[in-house]
């Protein structure tokens, strides 16, 4: 019976999708005498938490003595909203069943302890694996202290991503394009290198749906001058960070553009990962190009691989994927998921070391 109610809470949590942004997806169900009184979830970043959403739907008398099923440990601190643990105690909730303790250091274990200290019976570990699957990027960020990093590419049957000419080669089909847009929406930052910027002139935006917090666009460059006439520094549609190895006269000009940041430094994969930590970006999608992705592979800073494979071949002169990668030991992955997208195939796999 406990698992049935927790599954209902999990289903509620999923309703929010990416709208929770840097907050986790959380669902809750309020039960009394075996009957469901209310169901709710955290709707959007900065909004009421799932526990509050549920309690708002019932009277004080209904809530008193009830059991609350919640996918993630209730918070016990003041953030964008007041602490949920105190609200639960004040409502007279008899028992709280928690799917997963919160890995966030501000919360972790403290919400549970607050409830216990105030006489609330607490059960933890209900459908934990399913609950963890709701927020893989959030969990990874706070457990590993770095963003979840995914490498994404479109490749041919012979492992090429482009012809040898400095022009864009369209590899994937429309179904893969739609799927890759959905993939983008799941990440808080997107990264490309200078060659991808100059050849593809990408927007790096999610164009299938409006997003309150669109992914931040990151570009590794030698100098910012290269970016002057490209769309992502001109459209103002999403925050754009130019990660430059050298300073240039164009830096100040670009810093005056809407939503553009220019940083100078030695932008190794480790440095980029640390920037994500400092900015709170929990997930990073490395879209290109081959040399930049190779640097992440060599640094072993990769948690997931997504390839869109097209039924075509470019030949020996084409640019291979992940050019120049060198690792001390081979990177191994879990059993991949394979999805047919018309004439294309999507291959998605998570590294075995990632938990």
Q: Which residues are catalytic?
A: 51
Q: If you search the block for the tokens 């800073």, which residue do you land on?
A: 301
What distances in angstroms separate CA 250 from CA 221, 225, 260, one per listed residue?
A: 13, 6, 12
| Preceding peptide of 289 cis, ω within 30° | yes
Q: Which residues contact 326 (CB under 8 A, 6 or more apart)?
A: 298
* Long-range interactions of 55-58: CB distance < 8 A, separation 24+: 55/30, 55/87, 55/88, 55/91, 57/30, 58/30
* Cα dihedral sign, 286-288-290-291: negative
- Name the helix (H) or strand (E) containing 62: helix 60-63
CA angle 203–164–158, rounded 5-degree value? 90
Neighbours of 15 (CB within 10 A): 14
DSSP code of 351?
B
Q: Token pair of 140, please?
A: 């990874």
d(CA 341, CA 355) in angstroms, rounded, equals 28
Strand partners, 288: 192
């Amino acid at each position: 019976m406990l698992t049935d109610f927790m599954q209902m809470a999990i289903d509620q949590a999923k309703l929010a999708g990416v709208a929770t942004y840097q907050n986790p997806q959380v669902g809750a169900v309020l039960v009394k005498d075996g009957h469901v009184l209310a169901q709710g979830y955290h709707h959007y970043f900065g909004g009421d938490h799932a526990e509050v959403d549920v309690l708002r739907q019932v009277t004080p008398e209904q809530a008193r003595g009830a059991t609350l099923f919640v996918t993630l440990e209730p918070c016990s601190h003041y953030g964008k909203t007041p602490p949920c643990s105190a609200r639960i105690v004040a409502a007279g909730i008899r028992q709280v069943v928690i799917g997963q303790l919160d890995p966030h250091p501000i919360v972790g274990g403290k919400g549970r302890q607050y409830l216990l200290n105030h006489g609330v019976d607490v059960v933890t570990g209900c459908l934990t694996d399913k609950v963890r699957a709701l927020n893989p990027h959030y969990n990874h960020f706070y457990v590993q202290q770095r963003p979840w990093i995914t490498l994404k590419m479109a490749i041919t049957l012979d492992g090429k991503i482009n012809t040898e000419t400095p022009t864009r080669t369209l590899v994937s089909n429309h179904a893969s394009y739609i799927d890759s847009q959905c993939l983008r929406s799941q990440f808080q930052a997107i990264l490309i290198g200078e060659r991808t910027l100059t050849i593809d002139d990408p927007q790096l935006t999610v164009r299938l749906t409006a997003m309150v917090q669109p992914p931040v666009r990151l570009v590794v460059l030698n100098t910012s001058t290269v970016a002057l006439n490209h769309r992502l520094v001109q459209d103002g549609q999403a925050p754009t960070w130019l990660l430059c190895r050298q300073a240039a006269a164009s830096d100040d000009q670009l810093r005056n553009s809407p939503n553009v940041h220019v940083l100078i430094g030695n932008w190794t994969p480790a440095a980029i990962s640390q920037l994500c930590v400092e900015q709170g970006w929990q997930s990073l999608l490395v879209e290109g190009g081959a040399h930049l992705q190779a640097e992440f592979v060599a640094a072993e800073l990769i948690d997931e691989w997504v390839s869109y494979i097209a039924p075509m071949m470019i030949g020996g002169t084409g640019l291979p994927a992940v050019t120049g990668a060198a690792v001390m030991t081979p990177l191994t992955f879990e059993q991949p998921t394979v999805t047919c997208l018309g004439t294309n195939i999507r291959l998605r796999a998570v590294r075995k070391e990632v938990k």
